[in-house]
Structure 1
Amino acid sequence: DYIRGALSENLDKDSSSQLESAEALFKSLGSIDYSLEVSDNLKDSDILIVDDNKTNCEVLERRLSLQGLTCRTAYDGNTAIEEVTKKNPDLILLDVILPDINGLELLKIFREKHTSDELPVIMVSAFNDVDSIAKCIQLGAQDYLPKPLNGTILLAKVISSLERKFFREREQELVNELHIQATTDQLTGIYNRRVIFDSLEKAYNDLDLGKIKGFSVLTLDIDFFKNVNDTYGHGGGDEVLKSFAGNLNELITEPNVVGRIGGEEFLAILMETDLQKVTKLCDNLRQEVTSKVIDYEGNKIKVTFSGGVSNTNESRNASDLVNKADERLYDAKKSGRDRIVLSN
């Protein structure tokens, strides 16, 4: 009404029509429902309130607790740092004026270790000018609340920050799940064929760049695996595969890589070309696998495996290197199985 009265004498017909249209639009929206509720996903979220005024802390804690949120308080900057060190809160309400460290400096300290997604911060201050707000946002605050606080705006901004954090975390969980699905063999939990051959290509690139001196390829195949499936069913076969993969994963550790490339076939990339060291690893692996008894539905299952080894001293071609290892694997099977052939 004030703006309309002040400008009414200078408004032309078009401007007056636009103003009336705007008023009609707001009226058509009806009354606004200011009631806000915290969703079940966000209840019990941990809020750290940092303010040197105990009354302010009590008021904020009471308002937020009524919404099912858990609150902690810190009356100075050093206590706030201690609280964050104990456990990262889901959100910090941070006053600018504190007795020891001012809120802006404290925000800088938090941002040295935590991103705004990991540790959201809403700055609270009586300074409501554009420069102050811009400075807080520039230093990494997610939002800004001017004093005196409006209860509805407070809750709206708290909910907004918590929702953003929740959905970012959920998004990251989904990304991690997709990554696991794309890189892991579903049955055994070790790397799949794609990762192994990508790793083989990377190893050759590192060799060409001089980052490594060489590496070996070890191909492995469980002996008489078809008999295991025929005798104990596919469930028994799955248990054997998981047990064998577990042994490989325990003994073939980083920087080496091991994975299942299909059926009962496995392939490992060993960052070593010394035959004595490779032989020792293979002997340890054979001893571990052959001594293990796999329990399945009251049955005791024992298996052996055969393997073949080649290394980059023999070939600088990935396919050729794998083929050489496969040829030696077949030689091991022809020679009676339960052995690893390292050279012709």
Structure 2
Amino acid sequence: MTDAPGHLLIVDDNKVNRLLLSRNVELLGHKASVAENGLVAMEMLSSQSYDLLLLDIEMPEMDGFQVLEAINADPDLRELPVIVTSSVEGLDNIVRCIELGAEDYLPKPVNKTLLSARVSSGLEKKRLRDEQRRLLERFATTEVAQDLQESGFAIGGKRANASVLFCDIRGFTALSENLAPEATIDLLNTFYTLMFEAVTSNGGIVSLMLGDGLMALFGVPQPLNNTAQSAVAAGHEMHSMIEMLNHDRLADGERSLRIGIGIATGEVVAGYAGTDNRATYTCIGSAVNLAARLEAETQNTGSRILVDQETLDLLDRVDIQETFGGTQIKGFSDPFDIHAL
């Protein structure tokens, strides 16, 4: 059990009950806030985070059952532990509370020893859920974590229209030859931090890290209004961040970095690939292969960003540096018109 104090919200229309429960909670070493009915409680929950809810059932404006239904329907509140404290009798009412997501049911008057045990248990569950969410978001992305929470995990994929971005550091092998392993890792960590920020700030996710490069997806698992516009905006931001990084590197006497970016748009199959024991969120499709080839093609053309025609057609505002018509791309039988931005 955790000894860390929690912040509890006590919801009860009876002033004496609120005072008694608040006093008991504070004696247990926790902070207590109060609400006189469910409507006030929901307003408080929307503006501040709490670790546990002590909830009465019979209240005006919005009763405890309605509060439980509202919490269960809100993804941001669904994991909040709720302990019902009520004088409402009957097994059916208790069962209904549990079915609506309550952790436990304590009859009034509330026994102090039981309250202490239930609060400690509820706070420990909250801590474990929060830790699980932090770990999930650390090794996945916020969007993938949200998709897992909303849809659950299943091996397989779904068809979707998306834009795929590949980015790679030019000449990284030669660049890292004279670097100590620790310096190489530090450089890559800095690179990934900047690139992740550029991708996520434009609605994308980094699906794969490839040594000194990455693959980013726009439009899956969460849809975007214009996947191509978001991907291109991310690409420009990635170059801007590299330019800022190079300013510091040159000042320190270090070599500047150069990156190449390829972006393609089309139908992909996105989902979880692997096994039930180990899986990753990824996507497959010709757009993925084309984006990877376009990123490699930037070395031949000397371009900063190369996009396919499907991506270009979706852009609202575009500054085309050069168009390479009828370009033969490795792995594709038909030539492509590709565009340098």
- Pair 130,222 (structure 1): closer, same or farther in 2 beyond 3 Å: same
Q: Pick the aligned partner of 1:222 from 160, 170, 177.
A: 170
The one-letter code sitting in structure 2 at the alignment partner of 1:226 is A
Q: Alpha-carbon deviation of 1:269? A: 7.7
Partners of 1:116 and 1:302 lie apart in 2 by: 49
Q: Alpha-carbon deviation of 1:300? A: 2.8
The one-letter code sitting in structure 1 at the alignment partner of 2:100 is L
Which one is further off, 140-149 or 250-259?
250-259
Q: Pick the aligned partner of 1:163 from 124, 143, 163.
A: 124
Q: Which residue of 2 aligns with 1:301?
A: 254
Q: Which residue of 2 aligns with 1:79?
A: 40
Partners of 1:98 and 1:282 lie apart in 2 by: 54
Q: Which residue of 1 aligns with 2:97?
A: 136
- Pair 114,70 (structure 1): closer, same or farther in 2 beyond 3 Å: farther
CA-to-aligned-CA distance 1:71-121 (integer Å, 9 cap, x gap): 112223333233222313222222222243333233333333257752222
Conserved? CA contact 1:249–1:258, under 8 Å: no
Partners of 1:171 and 1:217 lie apart in 2 by: 29
Q: Which residue of 1 aligns with 2:210?
A: 261
Conserved? CA contact 1:96–1:102, under 8 Å: yes
The sequence identity of aligned pairs, in percent, is 26
Q: Alpha-carbon deviation of 1:309? A: 5.9
Q: Which residue of 1 aligns with 2:16?
A: 55
Conserved? CA contact 1:116–1:140, under 8 Å: no
Establish whether residue 40 from structure 1 lines up as the match of residue 22 from structure 2.
no
C-alpha RMSD of matched pairs (Å):
4.6
The one-letter code sitting in structure 2 at the alignment partner of 1:157 is R
Partners of 1:269 and 1:114 lie apart in 2 by: 24
Any stretches of 5+ residues in structure 2 without a counterpart? Answer: 145-156, 219-226, 267-284, 307-322, 328-341
Establish whether residue 177 from structure 1 lines up as the match of residue 138 from structure 2.
yes
Partners of 2:198 and 2:77 lie apart in 1 by: 40
Q: Which residue of 2 aligns with 1:88?
A: 49
- Pair 47,290 (structure 1): closer, same or farther in 2 beyond 3 Å: closer
- Pair 114,158 (structure 1): closer, same or farther in 2 beyond 3 Å: farther
Q: Alpha-carbon deviation of 1:40? A: 1.4
Q: Which residue of 1 aligns with 2:148?
A: none
Which one is further off, 164-173 or 286-295?
286-295
- Pair 111,293 (structure 1): closer, same or farther in 2 beyond 3 Å: closer
Q: Which residue of 2 aligns with 1:145?
A: 106
Conserved? CA contact 2:57–2:85, under 8 Å: yes
Conserved? CA contact 1:221–1:307, under 8 Å: yes
Establish whether residue 67 from structure 1 lines up as the match of residue 20 from structure 2.
no
Conserved? CA contact 1:307–1:339, under 8 Å: yes
CA-to-aligned-CA distance 1:163-221 (integer Å, 9 cap, x gap): 222222222223333436xx9xxxxxxxxxxxxxxxxxx89x65xxxx36xx7876644
Partners of 1:268 and 1:124 lie apart in 2 by: 48
Q: Alpha-carbon deviation of 1:58? A: 1.8
Q: Alignment partner of 2:29: what SS?
A: coil
Q: Alpha-carbon deviation of 1:235? A: 5.3
Partners of 1:301 and 1:221 lie apart in 2 by: 15
Conserved? CA contact 2:164–2:288, under 8 Å: no
Q: Alpha-carbon deviation of 1:142? A: 2.1
The one-letter code sitting in structure 1 at the alignment partner of 2:170 is I
Partners of 1:323 and 1:123 lie apart in 2 by: 55
Q: Alpha-carbon deviation of 1:295? A: 3.8
Q: Alpha-carbon deviation of 1:70? A: 0.8
Q: Alpha-carbon deviation of 1:266? A: 5.7
Q: Which residue of 1 aligns with 2:61?
A: 100
- Pair 235,159 (structure 1): closer, same or farther in 2 beyond 3 Å: closer
Conserved? CA contact 2:246–2:257, under 8 Å: no
CA-to-aligned-CA distance 1:135-178 (integer Å, 9 cap, x gap): 22233322111122222222222222222222222222233334
The one-letter code sitting in structure 2 at the alignment partner of 1:56 is N
Which entry has the higher C-alpha Rg, 1 or 2?
1
Conserved? CA contact 1:310–1:322, under 8 Å: yes
CA-to-aligned-CA distance 1:211-255 (integer Å, 9 cap, x gap): 36xx7876644247525642x655555555455556655666555
